[in-house]
Amino acid sequence: MNRHRLIIPACALVALALGNSGCGRSLPPRAVEEPTHQRPAHHPGSLVDALPAIRVRAARLTAAPADAATATAELRDILRWIPQLAADTTLGRSAWDDVAALAARGSAHLAAPGDPAALAADLAATADSLAAIVATLPPGTPTEEP
């Protein structure tokens, strides 16, 4: 008897919340349209591929404002992904720490207001520093998604 009296309010609570959020009937459009864990189009896929991705977008920072804004947003993502991309290589801890520090420095520069041309040059230099580390990787390191 007691159990039944308890179950009713619990059911009501669950039903209320599910009703409010629409759970079980219609999922948010994103969840229906996008497969889970789908990577954005500008995800480089590997550390090696991240270098040209940075250079291309750094060059676009001095372009038209709309294009520069897109490039900035994508650069922010790419720099954030770099430590994880570097983890998917044979880089030792010391080299990985250097990569992570370069990415963090690039992100900080990107976040600070400044001259777009100087920022572009700074990010190109970051890409060069990363390239020097990537050059130490053995041949056969994956460069792109199959």
Tell me the C-alpha distance between 124 and 131, whole Å: 10
8 A C-beta contact, residue 87 and residue 21: no
Considering the rule CB under 8 A, would residue 3 count as an interface residue with other proteins? Answer: yes
Tell me the C-alpha distance between 133 and 83, whole Å: 13
Binding-residue total with other proteins (CB under 8 A): 39
Considering only residues 99 to 118 of the shown chain, the ones binding other proteins according to CB under 8 A are 100
Considering the rule CB under 8 A, would residue 92 count as an interface residue with other proteins? Answer: yes
91 three-class SS: coil
Tell me the C-alpha distance between 117 and 126, whole Å: 14
Considering the rule CB under 8 A, would residue 17 count as an interface residue with other proteins? Answer: yes
Considering the rule CB under 8 A, would residue 124 count as an interface residue with other proteins? Answer: no
Q: Which is nearer to other proteins, 27 or 63 (CB)?
A: 27
Considering only residues 60 to 79 of the shown chain, the ones binding other proteins according to CB under 8 A are none
